[in-house]
Amino acid sequence: MVLAGLSGSGKTILFYQLRDGSPHQGTVTSMEPNDGTFVLHSELGKKGKIKPVHLVDVPGHSRLKPKLDEFLPNAAGLIFVVDALDFLPNCRPAAEYLYDILTKSSVVKKRIPVLILCNKTDKVTAHSKEFIRKQLEKEIDKLRTSRNAISTADISDEFMLGVPGEPFTFEQCRNKVTVAEASGLTSEVSQVEQFIREHVKP
Amino acid sequence: MLEQLLIFTRGGLILWSSCRGLGNALKGSPIDALIRSCLLEERSAETSFAHDAYTLKWAFHNELGLVFVAVYQRILHLLYVDDLLAAVRREFAEIYDPKRTSYDDFDETFRQLQKEAEARAEEMKKSKQAGRAPAVPGKKQGAGGAAQRDAKQKGNGAGGGGSGKDDGDGDGDSGKGRWLANGNGNGQEKGARERSHAPPGSVVVKGKENGGPQAGAFDVNKLQKLRSKGGKKSDNTKPASKGGEPKKIVKKNRVWDDSPSESRLDFTDPVDERGEGIVEAVAADQGESMMDKEEDLSSESEAEEEDEEVEGAKPGAKKKGWFTSMFQSIAGNAIIEKSDLQPALKALKDRLMTKNVAEEIAEKLCESVAASLEGKKLGSFTRISSTVQTAMEEALLRILTPKRSIDILREVHAAKEHGKPYVIVFVGVNGVGKSTNLAKVAYWLLQHNISVMLAACDTFRSGAVEQLRTHARRLQIPIFEKGYEKDPAVVAREAIQEASRNKSDVVLVDTAGRMQDNEPLMRALSKLINLNSPDLVLFVGEALVGNDAVDQLSKFNQKLADLSTVPNARLIDGILLTKFDTIDDKVGAALSMVYISGAPVMFVGCGQSYTDLKKLNVKSIVKTLLK
């Protein structure tokens, strides 16, 4: 299970939230991936056999993007974290990153399910997940047309996204893409945990 | 005064912070800036990093994957920070446990370490100072832990040292004096060490009393230094401005001998944009530009080359016995020390330099890799040279991977939607190939159905305008020109206006080549950039350049930053590397340029015809560099 997203979207906090139930004393920009296999903190109290989850938090800094390729092929699912508070200025880079992920061959061939997580929803000025979803779809649509206009050999486009001629929506992806909300700081991570539990093989 | 000391993992979790309860109360989040602009850029071997009003120093613990960062005000010069970082690293490594995430008990240890480090620094300072008149006895104040050390010294020495503190290091002391006073406030738990004595007390008070005038004394010193620097600068600009004068003189024809003056030798065709003229418009279709062709990567195994290198590295690493080192490398328990790394790093540095990487860049890179490997445990069955090799490979990959998107086409489309033309300015020193590569870029853009317009802002070199005119005719694109001896900034502005009028998508602006030391020309360039705010400032550099690349790029960037009128100066956004076909495998110039400027290589020119434009293949460059 891979946590990816732009730098500053809150992945490391979410990682520690899921693992320990609290973000401790805060985080700084990650320089290395955080890799851990553990039982989700909220499930610790449950009885019965609980399978530990292998979670990897990949740094979002652009210089470290190649690290994502190391972990993607073995991923059972991808959580793409988006900063719901500071969304609009980062909309274009977030959409580009998401587009790159959705067009990677490993993601498409294995139909890795993707959860787009709108983080920092505890703040008042955070955008709603519907708004973010629509914005991302629009941006990816624009990216699609500009990439296709480039024709033949493009940079790293390995697969075409969506149906040509129609505006892009996430339903058109062959792998399942859903949107959810969470807040790393106040430990509102129930939707994330649900996603994880669904897709980690029991 | 130390603002904050932070301990965090390489994965990003903050383990301990000296500033409790306030969280990250520093302005502008300097820690993130440090990580982004310094540590991730492989500049971790530098000693300090300045950001806004703070200076940051750091230390690594590579084995445990921890980073220790100390933040303090930039105007203070605290001498004990390095010491403190090393001590903190030692202490924390002992109590560190990967499972634990809160280390409250470290507060006590830290405070003690801080006092000790300050005391040590003070001792060193005192031993350097000459004795002076004894200090004024002041109010008695219970000193903190530092008093323990001070009390051990002779009274005279302490008094003399105390008064002798006001030259040079005045500020650090006033800061320290202040801290000690604070330490008194909340250092009461160290009751055992509380003694009141005249000498240390006077030390503290001296620091406090003279805090005002001492700070003042420091400021005056600083002011004098600035003034002398300013004086030097004005000297430099004077001759340069004189150099600028002769350019305004109108050109006269040269008379070689006594022959009568001949008729005008100007055979330029009358200005004629879409001219059929003398040159026939060559069909713009010369085949696909190499930008669009994918490169095949041949994956050779590098294992054979590695063995040769080990032979060279081994004779150097004979500090421990040969048998023990072999045994340890098999068992995997050797901790890497700096002395072990030296031979391997030296070999690597020499290899990089033979590949035409600038010397200081190779040096800095090797130091950065050393900083990241020191203290790490060697994995079993690995040799030092292979660890160093992998670390260097990763570092090179990280540097050459672009930080920003190099997809120009996407940005052009974005600008198109906004209805504005996308402006690219080509800058560089003389003779690197700006005009030629400008034409290649125009050709490539044309192949993607983007309308291009050329702007001839090289109004200095003879024939520059005609050269562009010829290119424009062959590619059948419009060109905006105003002839020679005109102000390039104004020409560029009018060209952009013209482009938005006739709906061109991209404007390619050609500028005159200029040496990085030429002050008036650099000023003219920054005026052009400020006036027109282009979307992309492309620095054209040739791959043949050696150590001069560092000088060129840093001076260009510096001049653009200094002479800019807006707070966020436009710097070099991208690099175009030319004459790549002339170097076989000496590809180091690419690395030097990217490292020094942080800008990605957007295009690579590899020939002299229109199709010879490629993208930089990062993996193959890294492989070639380390071969």
- At residue B141, the pLDDT reads 39
**Set of chain B residues whose Cβ sits within 8 Å of the Cβ of A58:** none
Distance of CA A194 to the CA centre of its chain: 15
Residue in chain B nearest A62 by alpha carbon:
B403
Contact criterion met (CB < 8 Å) for A146 and B14: no
| Tokens matching residue B44 | 């971790």
Binding-face residues of B in 432-461 toward A, CB within 8 A: 448-449
**Set of chain A residues whose Cβ sits within 8 Å of the Cβ of B293:** 153
Closest C-alpha to A169, from A193, A195, A134: A134
Asked if A68 contacts A57 with a C-beta cutoff of 8 angstroms, the reply is no
Q: Is A40 touching B (CB cutoff 8 A)?
A: no
**Set of chain B residues whose Cβ sits within 8 Å of the Cβ of A12:** 11-13
Contact criterion met (CB < 8 Å) for B409 and A26: no
**Set of chain A residues whose Cβ sits within 8 Å of the Cβ of B376:** none
Phi-psi bin for B295: left (phi > 0), alpha (psi -120 to 50), beta? beta
**Set of chain A residues whose Cβ sits within 8 Å of the Cβ of B287:** none
* HSE-CB of A3 using CA atoms within 13 angstroms: 35
Distance of CA B618 to the CA centre of its chain: 20
Strands across the sheet containing A53-57: A34-38, A53-57, A2-5, A78-83, A114-119, A177-181
Q: Is A156 touching B (CB cutoff 8 A)?
A: no
Contact criterion met (CB < 8 Å) for A146 and B410: yes
- At residue B25, the pLDDT reads 52
Asked if B370 contacts B345 with a C-beta cutoff of 8 angstroms, the reply is yes
**Set of chain B residues whose Cβ sits within 8 Å of the Cβ of A57:** 11-12
- At residue B585, the pLDDT reads 79
* Res. A177 pLDDT band, cuts 50 70 90: confident
Contact criterion met (CB < 8 Å) for A31 and B398: no
DSSP string, B208-263: HHTHHHHHHHHHHHHHHHHHHHHHHHHHHHHHHHHHHGGGGSPP-----SSSPPPP
Contact criterion met (CB < 8 Å) for B23 and A149: no
Q: Mutating which of A28, A98, A141 best tests the B interface, going by the most B Cβ atoms within 10 A?
A: A28
Q: Mutating which of B7, B10, B13 best tests the A interface, going by the most A Cβ atoms within 10 A?
A: B13
Cα B382 to Cα B599: distance, rounded to the nearest angstrom = 35
Which of B31, B102, B407 lies nearest to residue A28, judging by beta carbons?
Answer: B31
Q: Name the more confident of B471 and A119.
A: B471
Q: Is A64 touching B (CB cutoff 8 A)?
A: yes
Contact criterion met (CB < 8 Å) for B409 and A25: no
Residue in chain B nearest A156 by alpha carbon:
B294
Q: Is A34 touching B (CB cutoff 8 A)?
A: yes
Contact criterion met (CB < 8 Å) for A31 and B39: yes
Asked whether residue A135 carries a pLDDT value surpassing 70, the answer given is yes
Residue in chain B nearest A35 by alpha carbon:
B11
Contact criterion met (CB < 8 Å) for A57 and B11: yes
Residue B453 belongs to what H/E stretch? strand B452-456
Asked if B10 contacts B69 with a C-beta cutoff of 8 angstroms, the reply is no
- At residue B252, the pLDDT reads 61
Residues B11-49: b if buried by 16+ CB within 10 A, e if exposed: bbbbbbbbeeeeebebeeebbbbbbbebbbbbbbeeeeb
Which of A25, A63, A151 lies nearest to residue B403, judging by beta carbons?
Answer: A63
Distance of CA B438 to the CA centre of its chain: 27
Contact criterion met (CB < 8 Å) for B410 and A151: no
Asked if B125 contacts B169 with a C-beta cutoff of 8 angstroms, the reply is yes
Query: Where along chain B do its domains lie?
Result: 2-123, 331-400, 408-626
Cα A40 to Cα A20: distance, rounded to the nearest angstrom = 8
Contact criterion met (CB < 8 Å) for B24 and A152: no
**Set of chain A residues whose Cβ sits within 8 Å of the Cβ of B399:** 63
Residue in chain A nearest B444 by alpha carbon:
A150
- At residue B40, the pLDDT reads 65
Cα B226 to Cα B464: distance, rounded to the nearest angstrom = 42
Asked if B540 contacts B432 with a C-beta cutoff of 8 angstroms, the reply is yes
- At residue B41, the pLDDT reads 65
Cα B16 to Cα B107: distance, rounded to the nearest angstrom = 9
Q: Is A148 touching B (CB cutoff 8 A)?
A: no
Query: Where along chain A do its domains lie?
Result: 2-42+49-149+159-199
- At residue B310, the pLDDT reads 39
Contact criterion met (CB < 8 Å) for B402 and A62: yes
- At residue B446, the pLDDT reads 87
Q: pTM to 2 decimals? A: 0.65
Residue in chain B nearest A147 by alpha carbon:
B410
Amino acid occupying residue A15 = F
- At residue B534, the pLDDT reads 86
**Set of chain A residues whose Cβ sits within 8 Å of the Cβ of B8:** 27-28
- At residue B324, the pLDDT reads 62
> What is the domain class of B2-123 according to CATH?
alpha beta
**Set of chain B residues whose Cβ sits within 8 Å of the Cβ of A65:** 401
Residues of chain B with pLDDT under 50: 22-23, 131-219, 221-222, 226, 228-247, 270-281, 283-284, 297-319
Cα A61 to Cα A28: distance, rounded to the nearest angstrom = 12
Angle at the Cα of B111 from the Cα atoms of B107 and B116, rounded to 5 degrees:
145
- At residue A179, the pLDDT reads 80
Tell me the sheet residues that pair with A117.
Answer: A81, A180
Q: Domain A2-42+49-149+159-199, what fold?
A: Rossmann fold (3.40.50)
Contact criterion met (CB < 8 Å) for B40 and A155: no
> What is the domain class of B408-626 according to CATH?
alpha beta
Asked whether residue A44 carries a pLDDT value surpassing 70, the answer given is no
Task: Assess whether the region B2-123 and the region B408-626 belong to the same CATH fold.
Answer: no
Cα B290 to Cα B615: distance, rounded to the nearest angstrom = 8
Q: Supply the mean pLDDT for chain A.
A: 74
- At residue B152, the pLDDT reads 42
